[in-house]
Amino acid sequence: MKTKDLTKKIYIAVIVFSVLLSFFALIPRINAENKNKILDFAISYTDLKNTAQEQNISVKEAAGLFKEWGANSVFYKENTVQDLVNDGRVFVTNRQGMKALGYAGNYYFNGNECYVLTSDGKLSARLINHLKYKIGKSKVEVFNFKGQSAIAVNIPLISLLNTGVGFDGEEIRNIESLGLHTVLMIKNWPLVNDESIKFVFNDLANSADMITAVLFSDKKIPGFTNKLKEIGDEFKNKNLSLGTVEFYNQTGIEKLAKLLNNRVIRLHSVADNELLSISPENMIDRFTLAAKERNIRILYYKMLPVDEQNAKLQLNADVISKTVQKLKAQGFTVESGENTIPSPYNNIHPGRLLQLLMGMGPIAAFSLILKQIKFSYHIFVFLSFTLGWIILLFIVPALALKLMALASVVVFPVLTIFVLLNRNKISISRAAVKIILLTVCSLCGAFIMSGLLSSTEYMVKIDQFTGVKAAYLLPVVLATCLVYLFSGRENPVKKVRSLLEEPLMVKYMVLTLVFLAVGLIYLSRTGNESTVGVSPLEIKIRYLLDRVIGVRPRTKEFLVGHPFMMLLLHLGYNDKKLPLLILGAIGQVSLVNTFAHIHTPFLISILRTFVGLAFGIIIGIVLCIFVDYSTNLYKRWIN
């Protein structure tokens, strides 16, 4: 008996020790999140040009207007040959076109080449350099034609028009003189070698002085797979930060970020097709939430479309100024000038020994569950899992950390519900106290998981917690099964056998189908990319909660999980209340999984959890009172 008590105390001590150690991993992360408050509110250079044209002012004057409203940065996409054609700065034709123009000189290629004509000497030099380095010197020939610079390029027309040809450095520096920062997005190019990589990054450094970040526009990063190191070396040599676009997956971006020691700045923008439907209020809320809750440090603003030019300018001026004011009210800095450029997070990483010791917590919690169900070999499981954890952590650390993080969010809600669930009825006030205790115990798993993954690559979402669907489904299933099989005095084997011998009734079939449908919706709405869309009404409610409370509690917690768990605690568990257990378990599982979003600042997740708990308790009290009243009314009615 004493040995049994001793092992239980050991498991609890290991859990407590692991939770305490998690704070040593979390403190550097929390400090970094609190200090990194400088933002870029970037407007599109295309919008600058269009505004200048619509208002009949210079681009620099237009930039000054945006600066007055609060913008402190300009976002430039690399010019393509097509952009220069659209601007009327170059003329592109084929061999037949050259003949029609009167050219009678030598032709350098086989007849399928294209020709680029311009009278701008500086632009011509820029085009020649970019085309030679990016396509190949053997495919580019330069000659004079009627006093213009002519460039013959031996590639198909569509490829030529899509080729990036750098930035207008004079224009960028002209705008930078206002103190506005620069965000650059470059295109992939065909000939990615050492020479072209050096040229591209030298050109970037010569184009701007106050570069916040450099991004890539294509789905595949230049140099993937064999030249990423050289790309990374140029980022380091030029002291540039890599920009990543939220919700835009790019092949090779993770590897490049790791080569840069996660020197990454995240960018958020509204997609072009969303601009037609998003309201100004939702735009303001969306940008604020991106900065506050997802570690976004570049907000790329595209002008909301309005037909009338002056109305368009007024509307967007209002949205920009209100957004910047709201960001500043949240403690962010949105200022112009060289000393206010956003910087990436320092490379934070918990030590291997610290990670090893934190990982002991979930193993101890799992062993404690085995002990509670009287599994004789729980000590052997604890020792063998510990040995496996140590080996895996040093051989495949990335995989080991993700597996142990998943174990943390699965095991702790199960242990908490199984141990603390009461079978006898208790008062509503005691049920409220007990759900607080449930939440605190479940949070042990959240703290350990957060500590294990408190690294910069997770904070900027270069890497992320995996197994989200399993983390939401397994704890609910396991907790339900454990409580059903082991919470009473009946033998679990006999209980399963008895259940299997029960006749199948239609009402149970219908109930099962309902729960399956609810379960599918529940799973489809979890994870980083939900497969079920969020209704416009729900979006409005979410934004309303954010405005009123400051942080939005999770619906699964305050509206479903916590109220039904409170009701179950109040009434006391028996097998007939199994549906209540399933619904109640969702709240505990959701609050732990809230912390799996490592790119959300830790203190925001804490606040969201306790706000959700407070609302859940209030709704739970109302639900308990309603059920008690309805039950009493029913008893009086039947009597």
The pLDDT > 70 percentage for the chain reads: 90
Tokens of 460: 């900027």
Q: What confidence score (pLDDT) does residue 77 get?
A: 96
Please tell me the distance from the alpha carbon of residue 617 to that of residue 436, in angstroms, as a whole number. 9
pLDDT of 543 over the 50 cut: yes
pLDDT of 1 over the 50 cut: no
Q: What confidence score (pLDDT) does residue 532 get?
A: 47
| Residue pair 70/324 in contact by the 8 Å Cβ criterion | yes
| Residue pair 28/22 in contact by the 8 Å Cβ criterion | no
**More confident site: 584 or 532:** 584
Q: Express each pLDDT in 484-532 by its tens digit.
A: 888 767 777 676 666 666 666 665 566 666 656 666 665 555 654 444 4
| Residue pair 234/244 in contact by the 8 Å Cβ criterion | no
| Residue pair 85/114 in contact by the 8 Å Cβ criterion | no
Residue the block writes with tokens 């174990």:
407
The side-by-side arrangement of strands in the sheet containing 114-118 is 91-94, 114-118, 148-153, 140-145
Q: Where are the beta strands (DSSP E) in 219-295?
A: 242-245, 264-269
Q: What is the dihedral of CA 130, 133, 139, 142, to 10 degrees?
A: 50
Q: Is 531 helix (H, G, I), strand (E, B) or coil?
A: coil
The enclosing H or E element of 140 equals strand 140-145
State the SS3 of 468-513: HHHHHHHHHHHHHHHHHHHCCCCCHHHHHHHHHHCCCCHHHHHHHH
Q: What is the pTM of this model?
A: 0.87
Q: Express each pLDDT in 329-370 by its tens digit.
A: 999 999 999 999 999 998 899 999 999 999 999 999 999 999
Report the chain's mean pLDDT, rounded to a whole number. Answer: 89
pLDDT of 3 over the 60 cut: no
Tokens of 287: 């940008």
Residue the block writes with tokens 């033998």:
491
Q: What confidence score (pLDDT) does residue 538 get?
A: 59
* pLDDT tier, 575 (very low <50, low <70, confident <90, very high otherwise): confident
Q: Express each pLDDT in 181-211 by its tens digit.
A: 999 999 999 999 999 999 999 999 999 999 9
Tokens of 54: 């619509």
Which is nearest to 421 in space by CA: 482, 492, 496, 494? Answer: 482
Which is nearest to 465 in space by CA: 587, 281, 592, 348? Answer: 592
Q: What confidence score (pLDDT) does residue 509 get?
A: 61
Q: What is the mean pLDDT of residues 254-279?
A: 93
Q: Express each pLDDT in 379-434 by its tens digit.
A: 999 999 999 999 999 999 999 999 999 999 999 999 999 999 998 999 999 999 99
